[in-house]
Structure 1
Amino acid sequence: MTILYLNGQYCPLEKATISVLDRGFLFGDGVYEVIPVYQRQCYQLLPHLERLANSLKEIDCKNPYTVTQWTTIIDNVIAQNEQDNQTIYCQVSRGIEANRLHTYQSTTKASVMVMSQPLPTIPVQQHQQGIKAITLTDTRWQRCDIKAISLLANCLLKQKAYNAGATEALLIRDGKVTEGAASNVYVVLNDVIYTAPANQFILAGITRQVLLTIAAQKKWPVKLQAIEKAQLLQAQEIWISSSTKEILPVTVLDNKPVGEGKPGPIWRQFYQAYQQQKSITGSVKDGR
């Protein structure tokens, strides 16, 4: 049985309810975070909570809890669910108001949910063979740096990739790669790693930051620069990353092989370094 936290109470998932007047339900007015848990320990907890706080600030919504309070709630949810490896989903909506109006009251009390789900297992063949991706026009809004719960555009893009037999869609805005429908994107050209700069058109991923730190430690050349769509055809390697996917190689893009059509040696180095980083800094006490 899944136990979650909802507005001050811990309860079974089947008994959790919200008001139909909640602005998250009516408008998608809220933000969220997804935090991986390995062996009952959050990975990169503080960076996730910092990004949640920033998203709340950007939508003019007061953070309902301190870092200590968030940590206690998350720890309790982890403890009350069975799996050792979990995905913690934190959602804050602006809350419930008396009427459905586009404008909102600054005094409205936020609605908060913290839910656990089993951490998805990454299929072995995705590491051995890589994944397929397609390119699509980036149809999302202008504030992709906010981790908002209004994900309709992302869902439609992801579904198009799924319908095409692909795992991810690489998004193109003004002729350049921004990110994936649910991931950050990296392109290797002449042994240099390119990834789009952190601006309003991408979500600055926590895994992305870990990979940039690893690159700095390795003194590996990185350029925070968006790649032209045409340059994808010349890529040695393409990767995607997210908190639940970790780092995956794209070996087929738009039905054409990427590089040699198999996971590349640079990806392997970074994948191994990421696993080592998890074992060093993955504990909750280290992450705080």
Structure 2
Amino acid sequence: MSRTVYLNGAYVPEEEAKVSVFDRGFLFADGVYEVTAVLDGKIAEFEGHVARLKRSLGELGMSMPVDSDELLAIHHELIKRNNLQEGAIYLQVTRGAADRDFVFPKEATQTLVLFTQAKDLTSEKAGIKVISIPDIRWGRRDIKTVQLLAPSMGKMMAKAEGKDDAWMVEDGFVTEGTSNNAYIVTKNGKIITRNLSNSILHGITRAAVLRLAAELDMEIEERPFTIAEAQDAAEAFITAATIFVCPVVEIDGAAINNGVPGPISKRLNDVYIEEARKAAC
């Protein structure tokens, strides 16, 4: 059956959801996006995603197209209309449609699109294999823009080698995965992940997982790490809105934890899902 999509104030069949060829999201990647997880028909981490959406829009000189309450109501209506129990809701805001010009218009009407994707989010994870690639993205990775060509190419490079994903490297250090934040666990059990800056996306799941890890008395250090350090780690994992905590079992051909998920990543994933279910709205 066709999904129902939200487009600029209307709920329409996906086949009828059309955006102008002059939309600046299409012409310039002039827009931002968010992805929220849906568990048991409820939305996980909604407030965190809205806060980041407001920040991303503000960094590009854009405002919220609707307020938080209306945005939540749209999410709930899409879940209802698409009978979504587990999966994700994708949201995109662009500056809107205008004749092509690098100087963007100040009065254009923004384009707001949301759609659902049914996905299995909670099954046990076998772990993924990653390769390392140069990080060639622009300098404001903290803004969740729709400029995703470099990460997309990176993921395709990994697939071409029979792997699952790529970790991007800049100045000798891992920044993040193509669509996720990256972590290692040292042999003495310390969780290492890159500190927040313009170099990485400020992950909503990242923040929640680090908070839960601290509550579990796990030691955390926020700093850059190298591929060699990752290959020598006891565990490695990634986090993102629709994968939660996923083990990494191989990096550039080197097996991590003998190629099987480790106990810390599994524990954090279980605790995150439990807490996300409780707090979902």
- Give your verdict on TM over 0.5: yes
Tell me how far apart the structure 2 counterparts of residues 277 and 39 of structure 1 sit (CA, whole Å): 13
Cα distance per residue 1:127-154 (max 9 Å; x no partner): 2x42111111111111111110111111
Aligned-residue offset at 1:177: 0.8
Tell me how far apart the structure 1 counterparts of residues 111 and 146 of structure 2 sit (CA, whole Å): 13
Aligned-residue offset at 1:115: 0.8
Q: Which amino acid aligns with 2:275?
A: Q
Instruction: Show the 5 A alignment for 1:22-61.
Output: 22-61=23-62
* 1:210 lines up with 2:208 in the alignment: yes
Tell me how far apart the structure 2 counterparts of residues 73 and 270 of structure 1 sit (CA, whole Å): 30
The counterpart of 1:150, out of the listed 147, 150, 172, is 147
Tell me how far apart the structure 2 counterparts of residues 262 and 28 of structure 1 sit (CA, whole Å): 38
Q: Which amino acid aligns with 1:271?
A: N
Cα distance per residue 1:144-167 (max 9 Å; x no partner): 111101111111011101111111
Q: Which stretches in structure 1 are left out of the alignment for 5+ residues?
A: none
Aligned-residue offset at 1:223: 0.6
Q: Give the equivalent residue in structure 2 for 1:90.
A: 91
Aligned-residue offset at 1:228: 2.1
Q: Which amino acid aligns with 1:260?
A: N
Aligned-residue offset at 1:234: 1.4
Q: Give the equivalent residue in structure 2 for 1:69.
A: 70
State the percentage of identical aligned residues.
Answer: 34
Aligned-residue offset at 1:238: 0.5
* 1:106 lines up with 2:106 in the alignment: yes
Q: Give the equivalent residue in structure 2 for 1:18.
A: 19
Contact 1:36 1:119 in 2 (8 A): no
Q: Give the equivalent residue in structure 1 for 2:252.
A: 254
Q: Give the equivalent residue in structure 2 for 1:140.
A: 137
Tell me how far apart the structure 2 counterparts of residues 150 and 115 of structure 1 sit (CA, whole Å): 19
SS of equivalent to 1:56: helix
Aligned-residue offset at 1:240: 0.8
Tell me how far apart the structure 2 counterparts of residues 269 and 2 of structure 1 sit (CA, whole Å): 35
Q: Which amino acid aligns with 1:106?
A: K
Tell me how far apart the structure 2 counterparts of residues 89 and 24 of structure 1 sit (CA, whole Å): 15
Q: 1:276 to 1:82 in 2, by over 3 A?
A: closer
Aligned-residue offset at 1:123: 6.2
Tell me how far apart the structure 2 counterparts of residues 28 and 279 of structure 1 sit (CA, whole Å): 34
Instruction: Show the 5 A alignment for 1:164-203.
Output: 164-189=161-186, 190-203=188-201
Aligned-residue offset at 1:78: 1.2
Q: Give the equivalent residue in structure 1 for 2:239.
A: 241
Cα distance per residue 1:206-241 (max 9 Å; x no partner): 111111111111121101101023212211111011
Contact 1:86 1:118 in 2 (8 A): yes
Aligned-residue offset at 1:83: 2.6
TM-score, scaled to structure 2: 0.96
Aligned-residue offset at 1:259: 3.0
SS of equivalent to 2:106: coil
SS of equivalent to 1:20: coil
Tell me how far apart the structure 2 counterparts of residues 141 and 227 of structure 1 sit (CA, whole Å): 20
SS of equivalent to 1:105: coil
Aligned-residue offset at 1:42: 0.2
User: Cα RMSD (Å) of the superposition?
Assistant: 1.3
Aligned-residue offset at 1:120: 4.1
